[in-house]
Chain A
Amino acid sequence: MTMGFAHSKLTARLRAIALLDDADAALVESLPIKLQNVPGGQDIVRDGQTVEQCCMLVDGYLFRHKIAADGKRQIVSWHVPGDIPDLYSLHLDPIDHNITALGPAVICFIPHHPFKEMLNASPGLTHIFWRETLVDSALFREWVVSLGKRDALARIAHMICELATRLRVVGLATEDRFQFPASQVDVADATGMTPVHANRMIQQLRAKGLIEWEGQTIRLLNFEELKSLADFDEAYLHLRTPR
């Protein structure tokens, strides 16, 4: 995988969420970045750490999580290629959660200094990345609603709908299937359930003929029905049609 590939992932992502002119695209492509392969389960950044670079996901999945006082883990977001889960580290220090690779992943690091210089040079890009952090917070609002008010079946269904929709934007989900290397425990920790309860909900979605979940592949058998059960409306993702 080349550096050019990582740059094109980033510009494609920015084009998916905003109008990106050629001058801004050239600025993005001149960012010095460093590609790195990480094995599944590896922490990229840890709670309390100070970092001098942002991490963009190029391939695979990352997730953000926090550990409660009793050692229990809450996963607070999934990340798909093109995401920069620690974008806020440009302004907030130290990091207040962990970011970990779900399965094997390819990431790239963008040092803070050139990143800030690029933003100083382009109000357009500043607005685009500002918008990214706003969309990030919109996802958190939806996550809170799920954890607080949706029943367990809808919570899992909603998580699947969100993943499928976000992956389609970056071209990684076909009409009806995508790879997702999460264990039963990962899904439980994301949806606020015990593994036993999460497993039962997945079996119920399967029994209703809405999904198949074999190994690391999720297949959507009836996406419209799944969205309706999940109370899923993609408006909160604030997607734009790629141009």
Chain B
Amino acid sequence: MPRYFFNVRHGDESYRDEVGEDLPDNLAAWHEATASAGQSIRDLDGRLKPGTDWRMDVLNEAGSLVYSIEVKARV
């Protein structure tokens, strides 16, 4: 199974996924990304400030961007 990496950036904080996750295909990676993004955003619990963005990038083993999910917080 191909491995996918899920990196997260939120304002100045960034998390680089060094471990990754083995998933059958891009569609499975998309499901994992949307569910994980939902869980991350739940835990932001007010810490997402207007003017900062939250973003998850899904990369394949070659390091190419497969998907991006972005949440833009505006006043």
Contacts and interface: CB of A to CB of B under 8 A. Distances in A.
B15 A194 contact: no
B59 interface: no
Contact of A151 (B15, B33, B45): B45
Interface stretch (A31-39, A51-59, A196-204, A217-225): A196-204
B55 to A, nearest CB: 14
Contacts, number: 40
Q: Which of B18, B19, B39 has the most CB of A within 10 A?
A: B39
Interface in B1-25: 6, 8, 15, 17-19, 21
Given A200-B15, A200-B17, A203-B19, A194 B8 contact: no
Nearest to B8: A200
B18 A203 contact: yes
Nearest to A154: B43
Interface string B37-50: 00110010100000
Interface residues of B, number: 15
A153 B36 CA distance: 14
Interface string A6-30: 0000000000000000000000000
B43 A196 contact: no
Contacts of A203: 15, 17-19
Contacts of B19: 184, 199, 203
A90 interface: no
B35 interface: yes
Contact of A196 (B18, B21, B45): B21
A151 B46 CA distance: 12
A181 interface: no
A196 B15 contact: no
A194 B32 contact: yes
Contacts of B45: 151
Given A193-B36, A193-B39, A199-B21, 14 more contacts: A152-B39, A152-B40, A152-B43, A184-B21, A194-B36, A194-B39, A195-B32, A196-B17, A196-B21, A196-B36, A199-B17, A200-B40, A203-B17, A203-B18
Interface of B: 6, 8, 15, 17-19, 21, 32-33, 35-36, 39-40, 43, 45
